[in-house]
């Protein structure tokens, strides 16, 4: 039973870590998901399911039946369903489950929250924060690359030497489900990467290692390591918004659309399989337009001046 608990615990902890580091969800949300997954584990283990990767759809329906028997509200059950769907979506993409048991699990629709984004001025401050020492050059290169390409943090940290063609100005990116895409690089990102490769990476490298971005021990930088770096710069700059590695991806997409980019082009750059996923950024752009309208139109704000004739 100890080995069983370890299997479930490792699976849950890996998923919660993904939500924290890559998705950038709030601590309270992650804590709630953790409680939901712990309850999910306990109910399924009572059913005799010792392996989280062997769950089937009928097991999920049995789980929901237990929740209804406990007379939980539909809102609470909706959150738990979303949690389980996300859990198995993640492990399906990781190839840990061959058939996603939650794919046909009915979702209870809830209001979609908009992701946090930085203003263009906040991005400029963040990208200019790293100093010109060995680690600063590395941090500058990573931040410039994230904002220049909209890559996921896992995609960035999995880059190897050879994945970036600086002279041609593009990145070979491996996304979810091992899908490949090519993303162009801007001039500032190319310059930061060139300086990192010339002055910083050779000093960080201890033994032969193809990882593009290295920590101070010469190993591939981890998501936790990048998270700490980003939080430190945000605190130094006194950026009050909740910031995560995914924030630069959200900002990349929002700023492109704000400045006239085509939605289909942004979808390709982000590596979204479904354009519906990309459309959330149009809501952000509409929010910006509404704010500008309310601020600048004579009668845009409540209580604006009356017409004078």
Catalytic, out of 176, 219, 231, 258: 176
Q: Which of 90, 91, 92, 281 is catalytic?
A: 281
Q: Is residue 264 annotated as part of the catalytic site, yes or no? A: no
Closest of 13, 36, 19 to residue 82, by C-alpha: 36
Is residue 246 among the annotated active site residues? yes
Our answer to whether residue 176 is catalytic in this structure is yes
H helix runs in 72-222, sequence order: 74-93, 120-127, 134-149, 153-157, 187-195, 201-204
DSSP code, position 110: -
Q: Comparing C-alpha atoms, which of 96, 122, 105 is closest to residue 251?
A: 122
Which residue among 201, 246, 250, 255 is the active-site one?
A: 246
Q: Of these residues, 79, 80, 140, 152, which one is catalytic? A: 152
The single residue of 172, 231, 272, 288 carrying the catalytic annotation is 272
**Active-site residue, 35 included:** no
The answer to whether residue 196 is catalytic is no
Report how far residue 213's alpha carbon sits from residue 206's, in angstroms, rounded to the nearest whole number: 13
Report the alpha-carbon distance of residue 107 to residue 79 in Å, rounded: 9
Q: Which secondary-structure segment (H or E) carries 180? A: strand 180-184
| Catalytic hit among 41, 80, 138, 249 | 249
Among this protein's residues, is 91 annotated catalytic?
Answer: no
Catalytic residues: 152, 176, 246, 249, 272, 281
């Amino acid at each position: 039973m100890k080995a069983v608990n370890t299997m479930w615990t490792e699976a849950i902890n890996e998923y919660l870590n993904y939500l924290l580091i890559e998705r950038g969800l709030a601590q309270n949300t992650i804590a709630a998901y953790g409680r939901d997954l712990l309850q999910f584990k306990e109910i399924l283990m009572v059913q005799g399911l010792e392996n989280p990767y062997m769950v089937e759809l009928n097991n999920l329906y049995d789980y929901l039946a237990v929740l209804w028997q406990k007379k939980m509200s539909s809102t609470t059950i909706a959150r738990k369903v979303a949690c389980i769907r996300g859990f198995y979506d993640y492990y399906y993409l990781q190839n840990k489950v061959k058939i996603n048991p939650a794919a046909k699990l009915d979702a209870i629709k809830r209001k979609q929250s908009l992701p946090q984004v930085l203003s263009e001025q906040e991005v400029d401050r963040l990208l200019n924060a790293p100093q010109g020492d060995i680690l600063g050059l590395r941090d500058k290169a990573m931040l410039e690359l994230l904002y220049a390409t909209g890559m996921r943090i896992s995609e960035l940290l999995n880059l190897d030497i050879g994945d970036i063609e600086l002279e041609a100005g593009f990145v070979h990116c491996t996304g979810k489900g091992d899908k490949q895409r090519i993303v162009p690089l801007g001039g500032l990102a190319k310059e930061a990467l060139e300086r990192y490769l010339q002055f910083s990476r050779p000093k960080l490298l201890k033994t032969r290692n193809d990882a593009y971005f290295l920590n101070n021990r010469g190993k591939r930088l981890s998501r936790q390591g990048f998270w700490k770096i980003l939080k430190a710069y945000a605190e130094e700059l006194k950026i009050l918004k909740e910031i995560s590695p995914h924030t630069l991806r959200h900002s990349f997409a929002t700023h492109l659309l704000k400045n006239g980019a085509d939605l289909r082009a942004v979808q390709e750059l982000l590596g979204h399989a479904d354009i519906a996923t990309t459309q959330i950024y149009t809501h952000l752009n509409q929010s910006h337009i509404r704010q500008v309208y309310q601020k600048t139109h004579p009668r845009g704000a409540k209580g604006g001046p009356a017409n004078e004739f």
